[in-house]
């Protein structure tokens, strides 16, 4: 690969990792690449266009207000994935049930089309998260619930797009993690972060500490540990919390840190969704040498029971996740 490798070239080059591949999977990734360019453009315009910013006046299945940009992003990704004819079904945060598409498609996609909605109106980084699986039911039949309720260990690929000070697409197919930065001048994603790995040690912790008193003793103990002064172990850690999972995760991946959304007394399963938030980022975390846990066990081994299932979430540098697990086990 030369030093100006585009995402398009990279996808084609990596097809050789899947011997006998028909190119359908590459076509799926290209669909995601296209939709993310369109959404990136809409995100950049959001502050200018009153019809994009603000609530859409409808609620999604979790009773949350949908933002207009949520709806726009959802439509764009669904359109791009439908056009490729390789996807048989999509589960989205914005749709109560899964969407059936092409019965001849071999893949299913789970996605959070717009993550960090509360940050849209205030010009703060937001993102998209996606996860790709092979269907369980036979090709040529309608897609079923069981196609979506697969553990994260079955993921073929996962990734996110961060719409930040620049737009980046980061993804894995199980052979490491690569990050591409969008160059709006020429309209392409360029490989800017090859083979991404968490730094050896981290010193950032990211949790909505407004939930501190509603968290378990183990989580409180870990947060207090993070704040304790101890030069040898680089503490106190630095607190950073954006409120967009993608942005918090991305920063911690580059700088080293842990992201925590624990169970709380109000939300015993936490807030984040297993299929289209936790599992895809867990796959990336593990491929980058990190870890992802529900506080007790590996996230990717949780058997899903519902499309919009929530799960407590701890992800980042392995040593930090293990430490948090140890405090929880000791509580």
3-class secondary structure, 314: strand
Site track for Mn ion across 98-117, x = CB under 5 A: --------------x-xx--
Interface stretch with Mn ion, choices 90-98, 136-144, 179-187, 197-205 (CB under 5 A): 90-98
> Based on the number of CB atoms within 10 Å of its own CB, is 320 exposed (0-12), middle (13-18) or buried (19 or more)?
buried
Cis preceding-peptide flag for 236 (omega within 30 of 0) = yes
| Contact between residue 33 and residue 57 where contact means Cβ atoms under 8 Å apart | no
Q: How far is the CB of 106 from Mn ion (least distance, A)?
A: 26
- Does the footprint of ligand AHG cover residue 117 (CB under 6 A)? yes
User: Which residue matches tokens 């360029």?
Assistant: 190
Q: According to CB under 6 A, which residues from 62 to 101 bind ligand AHG?
A: 64, 93
Q: How far is the CB of 245 from ligand AHG (least distance, A)?
A: 4
- Torsion, Cα of 257, 263, 269, 270 (10° steps): -50
User: Which residue matches tokens 């809409």?
Assistant: 42
Site track for ligand AHG across 255-294, x = CB under 6 A: ----------------x-----------------------
Q: How far is the CB of 271 from ligand AHG (least distance, A)?
A: 5
Q: Considering Cα of 11, then 244, then 254, then 4, what sign does the dihedral take?
A: positive
- According to DSSP, the residues that pair with 178 across neighbouring strands are 171
| DSSP codes, 188-237 | EEEEEE-S----SS--EEE--GGGGGGB-HHHHHHHHHHHS-BGGGTBSP
CA dist 272 and 244 (Å) reads 11
State which of residues 25, 87, 93, 321 lies at the interface with Mn ion (CB under 5 A). 93
Q: Which is nearer to ligand AHG, 54 or 243 (CB)?
A: 243
Q: Which does 36 bind (CB under 5 to 8 A by kind): ligand AHG, Mn ion, none?
A: none
Q: What secondary structure letter does DSSP report for 240?
A: -
- Does the footprint of Mn ion cover residue 248 (CB under 5 A)? no
Site track for ligand AHG across 229-248, x = CB under 6 A: --------------xxx---
Q: How far is the CB of 209 from ligand AHG (least distance, A)?
A: 9
Backbone phi, psi, residue 40, to 5°? -55, -40
State which of residues 91, 112, 204, 324 lies at the interface with ligand AHG (CB under 6 A). 112
Tokens, residue 278 = 């936790």
CA dist 93 and 61 (Å) reads 8
Interface stretch with ligand AHG, choices 109-117, 166-174, 218-226, 298-306 (CB under 6 A): 109-117
Q: How far is the CB of 117 from ligand AHG (least distance, A)?
A: 4
Look at residues 277, 303, 318 and name the one whose alpha carbon lies nearest to residue 93. Answer: 277
State which of residues 115, 286, 294, 325 lies at the interface with ligand AHG (CB under 6 A). 115
Write out the residues near Mn ion by the rule CB under 5 A: 93, 112, 114-115
Write out the residues near ligand AHG by the rule CB under 6 A: 64, 93, 112, 115-117, 208, 243-245, 271
């Amino acid at each position: 690969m030369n030093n100006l490798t585009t995402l398009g070239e990279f996808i084609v080059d990596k097809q050789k990792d899947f011997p006998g591949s028909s190119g359908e999977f590459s076509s799926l990734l290209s669909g995601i690449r296209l939709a993310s360019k369109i959404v990136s453009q809409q995100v950049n315009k959001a502050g200018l266009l009153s019809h994009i910013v603000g609530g859409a006046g409808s609620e999604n299945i979790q009773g949350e207000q949908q933002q207009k940009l949520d709806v726009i992003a959802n439509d764009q990704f669904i359109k791009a994935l439908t056009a490729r004819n390789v996807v048989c079904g999509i589960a989205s945060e914005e749709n109560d049930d899964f969407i059936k598409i092409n019965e001849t498609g071999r893949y299913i996609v789970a996605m959070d089309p717009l993550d960090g909605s509360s940050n849209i109106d205030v010009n703060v980084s937001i993102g998209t998260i996606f996860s790709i699986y092979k269907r369980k039911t036979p090709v040529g039949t309608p897609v079923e619930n069981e196609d979506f309720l697969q553990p994260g260990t079955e993921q073929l690929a996962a990734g996110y797009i961060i719409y930040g000070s620049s737009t980046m697409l980061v993804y894995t197919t199980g052979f490491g993690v690569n990050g591409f930065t969008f160059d709006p001048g020429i309209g392409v994603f360029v490989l800017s972060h090859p083979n991404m790995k968490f730094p050896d040690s981290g010193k950032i912790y990211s949790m909505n500490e407004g939930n501190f008193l509603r968290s378990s003793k183990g989580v409180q103990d870990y947060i207090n540990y993070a704040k304790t002064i101890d030069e040898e172990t680089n503490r106190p850690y630095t607190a950073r919390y954006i409120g967009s999972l993608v942005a918090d995760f991305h920063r911690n991946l580059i700088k080293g840190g842990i992201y925590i959304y624990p169970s709380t007394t109000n939300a015993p399963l936490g807030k984040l969704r297993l299929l289209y938030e936790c599992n895809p980022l867990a796959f990336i975390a593990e491929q980058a040498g990190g870890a992802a846990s529900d506080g007790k066990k590996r996230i990717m081994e949780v058997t899903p029971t519902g499309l919009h299932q929530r799960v407590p979430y701890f992800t980042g540098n392995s040593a930090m996740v293990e430490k948090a697990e140890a405090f929880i086990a000791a509580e």
